[in-house]
A and B are shown apart, each in its own frame.
Chain A
Amino acid sequence: MQAITRSIDSFYRFLDSDVYYSFRSSKITMVAAAFTVLSFLAAIFSPWIAPQNPFDPAALDLLDAFTPPVWEGGGNAKYLLGTDDQGRDMLSALLYGARISLVVGFGATIFALVLGVGLGLVAGYVGGMIDGFIMRVADIQISFPTILIALLINGIARGILPKEAHDEMALYVLIFAIGISSWVQFARTVRGSTMVEKNKEYVQAARVIGRRRGTIMIKHVLPNVMGPVLVIGTINLAIAILSESALSFLGVGSPPTEPSLGTLINVGFDFLFSGEWWIVIFPGIVLATLVLAVNLLGDWLRDALNPKLR
């Protein structure tokens, strides 16, 4: 009961806060947030709201292949956004594709966040040789672009895993590859704020009463360095979705059996020249809008959480 009142309390406090005020006063942020939430919901509930299961061969009818969207001549009301070369409903493929893009994006971001925050916390708090080592690795890694590192890890996984296993593991490999290529931003930020926090009195107090080092790091320092991490995480989500789509477009990302938005664009690209533009343009629009919305949210969050800008 007490927990409920407390959470209601904090909800009211949130409605009263500066962050909420700045959210309400920026129309574009509200639109971006609405679109982001909508795509999350659509992605989560895609199996129930999609008109057809696009990956069930029994549901596909080859005779319906290349049906244009409903407003073009020759459109079919059954397929609002038309069909692809297999007679797959584009709207359903988009809903399922956005789901995979978001799963990989979130997975990679969380992976990078946990790894980066952990390493940054240790580097900042422990210091010395460990700090030096972690930060040198970070320095070296940040001078190579994410996409190249992800490509490399993906390529190695392809070489090591047998073909069938690779298709099955593809999404995990992607999450790992993209995640490991983007931990540096998190680590650098957290290390910086940890070094500031660790000299403050509350940390000294915790040390004096004999709490263990690990406990101090997790229970006392961590909650106080998480603010900027939220901003980086949001921007990183947009970058991760982009990286995933780029890898999939190159044909080394999610397999055709589980197509993300990037894979759909890759498949649709072949039909661009023969006039079936909708197979490539719709996934492109969804991808660009999703990334733009998440970017706008990230931009807003950075400004809203930064007291210097008020």
Chain B
Amino acid sequence: MLALIIRRVIQSVVVMLTVALIAFTLFRFVGDPIAQMVGQDTSLQDRERLRQELGLNDPIMVQFGNFVVNTVQGNFGISFRIGRPVNELIMERMPATLELSLIAALFALLVGIPMGVYTGLYPEKWLSKLFLTVSLMGISLPTFLIGILLILLFGVILGWLPTFGRGAVDQFGWWSSGLFNADGIRAILMPAFTLGMFQLTLIMRLVRSEMLEVLRTDYIKFARARGLSNRAVHFGHALKNTLVPVITITGLQLGSIIAFAIITETVFQWPGMGLLFIQAVDFVDIPIMATYLILIAAFFVIINLIVDLLYFAVDPRLRVERAVGGH
């Protein structure tokens, strides 16, 4: 067990170093950092001096070492385009993305699990077939198209909901929240639905297949033989046992939600990290791209690590078959 934890932690560190290396390569070799920082009329001597000061003449391994140290200290450099420190920019944008992702995940869980349980318990009813058809469409409809259709219906035709932005936000220290006033809540409805839709179909299908499998097992037959009510069998015995994989998959999907937020944020002009990133890609603003990359990788690595460790703690059978979803 201990050996396993150590191995997983080492693996995570290797992943983070690889990502850092990619980010560093971006930084150092895509375009000339000096040319990005100074104006046209800076003399060659000044450029050389700046180069020396920034340590760009050091051996490459030393530079990479410095980069890693800077990153660990949260020093990500200055955005080429906006001219402000990247960590400030990211900190401003992070609450928007995290709130959106959290609401989307909650929506997917709270709607997806009941739908999955229902389709698992009554596979032949017409409502189950409807749910399954809708879920196939949920997988086939690209996220941005769902967003566009929602905007067309609720924003343009009916005019009920705002079509872009976060609405009003309240400030709590550095955290800006849109969840404590009606305007902000109205603004989050469509983006959260759009982002959560794919996860919802995933969770629903997962719960359904787990329920179908569990209901065939012997201990369910035994519970029925003991004369327990349907309710107790379905929810006390069956559902409880389907939840372990659901929780772990949802954990893994949390990372995907944050990554997929790029698309949703673009559709709704939601001022989060994803929008910042995609604008940075447009302008080849390397510091922001590199920082976002490292940050998302860190999210993923930490979530994966926790989920993996949970697997081994909760259910030894899952060591063999790990399902990983998403695309």
Asked whether B136 lies within 8 Å of A143 as measured between CB atoms, the reply is no
Measured CA separation A49–B115 after assembly (Å): 45
Asked whether A145 lies within 8 Å of B260 as measured between CB atoms, the reply is yes
Chain B residues positioned under 8 Å from A198 (CB to CB) = none
> B300 interface residue, CB < 8 Å from A?
yes
Binary flags per residue of B198-225, CB closer than 8 Å to A gives 1, else 0: 0000000000000000000000000000
Given A151-B262, A158-B281, A246-B263, A144:B144 Cβ within 8 A: no
Measured CA separation A265–B144 after assembly (Å): 9
Measured CA separation A242–B146 after assembly (Å): 13
Asked whether B281 lies within 8 Å of A288 as measured between CB atoms, the reply is no
The chain B residue sitting closest to A140, CB to CB, is B15
> B289 interface residue, CB < 8 Å from A?
yes
The chain A residue sitting closest to B157, CB to CB, is A277
Asked whether A155 lies within 8 Å of B281 as measured between CB atoms, the reply is yes
Asked whether A147 lies within 8 Å of B327 as measured between CB atoms, the reply is yes
Chain A residues positioned under 8 Å from B31 (CB to CB) = 159
List which B289-318 residues lie within 8 A (CB) of chain A: 289, 293, 296-297, 300, 304
> A263 interface residue, CB < 8 Å from B?
no
Measured CA separation A155–B279 after assembly (Å): 11
Chain B residues positioned under 8 Å from A269 (CB to CB) = 148, 267
Asked whether A158 lies within 8 Å of B284 as measured between CB atoms, the reply is yes
Contact-residue bracket for chain A: 35 or more
The chain B residue sitting closest to A247, CB to CB, is B263
> A295 interface residue, CB < 8 Å from B?
yes
Given A291-B140, A292-B137, A250:B286 Cβ within 8 A: no
Asked whether B142 lies within 8 Å of A246 as measured between CB atoms, the reply is yes
From A147, A250, A284, A296, B136 is in contact (CB under 8 Å) with A296
From A140, A147, A152, A246, B293 is in contact (CB under 8 Å) with A152
The chain B residue sitting closest to A269, CB to CB, is B148
Contact-residue bracket for chain B: 35 or more
Asked whether B300 lies within 8 Å of A143 as measured between CB atoms, the reply is yes
Asked whether A265 lies within 8 Å of B148 as measured between CB atoms, the reply is yes
Measured CA separation A239–B15 after assembly (Å): 25
From A147, A245, A272, B152 is in contact (CB under 8 Å) with A272
Asked whether B327 lies within 8 Å of A246 as measured between CB atoms, the reply is no
Main secondary structure of the interface of B (DSSP, over half): helix
> B61 interface residue, CB < 8 Å from A?
no
Most buried by B among A144, A239, A273, A291: A144
> A249 interface residue, CB < 8 Å from B?
yes
Chain A residues positioned under 8 Å from B259 (CB to CB) = 144-145, 147-148
Measured CA separation A145–B303 after assembly (Å): 14
Binary flags per residue of B122-147, CB closer than 8 Å to A gives 1, else 0: 00000000000000110111111100
The chain B residue sitting closest to A148, CB to CB, is B259
Chain A residues positioned under 8 Å from B327 (CB to CB) = 145-147, 182, 239, 242-243
Measured CA separation A155–B296 after assembly (Å): 15
> B324 interface residue, CB < 8 Å from A?
yes
CB distance from A301 to the nearest CB of B (A): 15
Asked whether A148 lies within 8 Å of B282 as measured between CB atoms, the reply is no
CB distance from A39 to the nearest CB of B (A): 14
Measured CA separation A151–B22 after assembly (Å): 14
Binary flags per residue of B216-253, CB closer than 8 Å to A gives 1, else 0: 00000000000000000000000000000000000010
Chain B residues positioned under 8 Å from A265 (CB to CB) = 144-145, 148
Asked whether A250 lies within 8 Å of B142 as measured between CB atoms, the reply is no
CB distance from A139 to the nearest CB of B (A): 8
CB distance from A181 to the nearest CB of B (A): 9
Measured CA separation A288–B145 after assembly (Å): 8
> B26 interface residue, CB < 8 Å from A?
yes
Measured CA separation A136–B14 after assembly (Å): 11
The chain A residue sitting closest to B324, CB to CB, is A142
Chain A residues positioned under 8 Å from B140 (CB to CB) = 238, 288, 291-292, 295
> B266 interface residue, CB < 8 Å from A?
yes
CB distance from B10 to the nearest CB of A (A): 11
List which A267-310 residues lie within 8 A (CB) of chain B: 269, 272-273, 275, 277, 280-281, 284, 287-288, 291-292, 295-296, 299
Chain A residues positioned under 8 Å from B326 (CB to CB) = 145
Measured CA separation A303–B143 after assembly (Å): 27
> B278 interface residue, CB < 8 Å from A?
yes
Chain A to chain B: the 5 pairs with minimum beta-carbon distance, closest first: A159-B30, A292-B140, A291-B140, A148-B259, A145-B256
Q: List 11 A-B contacts (CB under 8 A).
A: A140-B11, A144-B297, A148-B296, A159-B31, A159-B286, A160-B30, A239-B327, A242-B142, A272-B156, A277-B156, A288-B142
